[in-house]
Amino acid sequence: MGMDISYVSHGEGLQITVDGNLDLTLTRPMLGVCAQVDDNLLVCVIDCSRVVRVFDSGRALLMLLTNKLREFEVRVIVIGDILPADHHGQLESTLCMKPRDERQEQPYPG
C-alpha cells in the first residue's frame, strides 16, 4: 500500500496511483513529486480509485500537489470518489472522475 509513480512518454505524462489510505503517510512521495515537476510535464493522472480511507491530511496533500502542478500548467485528472461533491471547487480546474461501478445494473437491451 502507498503510492506508485510512473512517468510516461519522455516525462510528458505522470501516472500516480494511491493505494490504501490517503493520509500523512504519503507526505514524502507527494512532496517528492512536487520537487520534480518541470515545464516538460503536460498531464498528470492521479488514480485514487483504490483508496480505502480518506483523511483531511490526505486531501490537503492532494490539493498541495494539484496546486503545484497547476503552477506549471499541467492538466490534472483525479480518478476516484475522494471528495464530497461540494468540495470539488477546492480542486479548481482539476478534472475529478468517479470510477465506473461495475456492480450497477445495466439497462435491459431492447
| Separation in Å, CA 65 to CA 49, 87, 95, 105 | 17, 16, 14, 36
User: Angle, to 10 degrees, between the axis of helix 27-36 and the axis of helix 56-71?
Assistant: 0
Q: Is residue 74 part of a domain?
A: yes
Q: For 32-80, what is each residue's pLDDT tens digit? A: 888 888 888 999 999 999 999 999 999 899 988 999 999 999 999 888 8
Q: Is residue 108 part of a domain?
A: no
High-pLDDT (> 70) share of the chain, % = 73
| Mean pLDDT, residues 92-104 | 56
Q: Is residue 103 part of a domain?
A: no
Which secondary structure element, helix H or strand E, spans residue 70, and what is its range?
A: helix 56-71
Q: How many domains does the chain have?
A: 1
Full domain range(s) for residue 63: 2-97
Q: Is residue 9 part of a domain?
A: yes
pTM listed for this prediction: 0.74
Q: Kindly report the CATH number assigned to the domain that includes residue 87.
A: 3.30.750.24
